[in-house]
Each structure stands twice: as structure tokens, then as C-alpha cells.
A = this chain, B = another copy of it.
Amino acid sequence: MNKNKLKQLWAEGKPTINGWLSIGNAFTAEIMAAQGYDSIGIDLQHGAVDYQTALVMLQAMRASAVVPIVRVPWLEPGIIMKALDAGAYGIICPMINTAGQAAKFVSYLRYPPLGSRSFGPTRANFSAGANYSAEANGEILAFAMVETGEAMDNLDAIARTPGLDGIYVGPADLTFSLAQGRLTPAFDREEPEMIEALQKILTACKSAGIRAALHCGTPEYAAKAAGWGFDMTTVSNDVRMLAGAAETNVKRYRSLIGELSAGTPTQKGGY
């Protein structure tokens, strides 16, 4: 089985950068896989993507050196195992709030005797190389998302779950949950209470000997997080980058020709 490059890079002490796919399309996946990320996650939770589309996206990324990761919609065994059989080298599971949930999650993605994953890596047999049944448990990454107050309360127990490889932090949900609505959910938090929470997660991971990952909005924040000790950072996503680049181009053009904006649209929903 092909070795998981993320594990190799982390073993060398290098933080890694992860891309993020929220658009359900094999060509955007192929484009993104050519930009130099160490790994890329397909977001089956909040992304506009489901399994059948994720499959062709995984295929389109295979020719690159990028490690393919899938974030599943929820702690549901069906889709976790389908994503693995489709060739994912890592699973990010949202809303892991207790050690029991973390243990279930690990169980779903490990073969016996470590877990209860069902055997049948139909596409992975083609993409992941030989000896999959014996080596998958050692190559595939299990990331539990810590993103609620309840999860923070159970942080150490979650981090010490046998077989868990890392904690992936969703700052938007974590902010939403910890601040109970006081703060707007978003990435790249600067509030002392949020930075303290991130540091606490980082400490728990280091203490448990697992990896810490953070979803970021900008390369600047990601680099800062890498400096703190985060092993993996995700930087923005396809939707934001496309929308941002297009908006910038349009505004720049309108500014250059002396128009302030597109003006009030004369009609809506007209074509």
C-alpha cells in the first residue's frame, strides 16, 4: 500500500497544508490537486457534494501527489466506510463531543482486530497499491472534530482515544458553541478566549501524542497556527477562492473604467 505522505512529513517535523473542496466537480478537484497542497479534503458535510461526485473527484486527484481526505457529514458508519472504499487516506468526522463517539468513529475506520470496518475496498484496490487489508489501519488517518463546548469538556478523553490520529478544529462551530451566539461564526479567530481554546486543544493533542489540525481562512493565519504547533492547516476553500478572485477582478475593472459598481440591477431573475 502506498505510504501516507502526511505521516512521513509529520515524522520529519514538517507542518502540512491542506486544500478544501466544497464544489462537487472532478475538474475543480484536478485543478486544485495541481497547486502544491500536501493533502486535499473533500467536504461531504458542508460542501455541495455527495458520494457519487466525490468518487470522480478522488479519481481526478489520483495522478497528483496529494493525499486525499474526506470530511463525512456525520458520525454515520455507512458513509465513512464508503469514503474509505473509494480511496480516502483520511477521514475527518464532525462534532465528536465525547470519548464514546470518538471510539465509535475509530471503530468505523479500522479493520479487525482494531475496529469493525467492513472489508471491500473496491476502488482503493486500484488506487492505494497492494496489501491494503494488512496496511490500511496503519496508513489511514482518523481526525475527530472538536468544535463544541461539550467536546472541550471531554477534550483529553477524546484525544486519548486509541487509534485516533488527530483532532481537527472547526473554528466557526467552536466559536458558535462556546460563545453561544455572542460571536459570529467564522475562521481565523483573534479573541483571547478563542485563542485560548485553540491552545488548549493543541496542548491536549501534544499530550496525547496525536496531531492537531486547524481550518483557517488565510495563509497568514495558517502560518501562525503552524508556528503554534498545529501539524496541519487547511487554507480557505474552492468556493471562497473562486468568488474572491472573481469579485476582485470585477471590482478592479469597474474601478479602472471609473464605474463605482454594477449599479442597481435593472432586473432580477430575468433570464
Please tell me the number of chain A residues within 8 Å of chain B, measured between CB atoms. 125
Q: Is A180 an interface residue (CB 8 A)?
A: yes
**A36-B254, A148-B116 known; A28+B23 contact, CB < 8 A:** yes
Residues of chain B with a CB closer than 8 A to A85's CB = 46, 48
| Copies of the protein in its oligomer | 6
Q: A218-262 toward B: CB 8 Å interface, digit per residue (1/0)?
A: 111011001100000101101101111111011111101101011
Q: A76-112 toward B: CB 8 Å interface, digit per residue (1/0)?
A: 1111011001110100001100000000000000011
Q: Are B24 and A52 in contact (CB under 8 A)?
A: yes
Q: In the complex, which of the residues B52, B111, B247, B266 contacts A65, with contact meaning CB atoms closer than 8 Å? A: B266
Q: Is A15 an interface residue (CB 8 A)?
A: yes
Q: Are B249 and A219 in contact (CB under 8 A)?
A: yes
Q: Are B28 and A28 in contact (CB under 8 A)?
A: yes
Question: Could you say which of A67-75, A192-200, A201-209 contacts chain B?
Answer: A67-75
**How far apart sit A85 and B49, CA to CA, in the bound complex (Å)?**
11
| Residue among A74, A120, A250 with max Cβ neighbours from chain B (10 Å) | A120
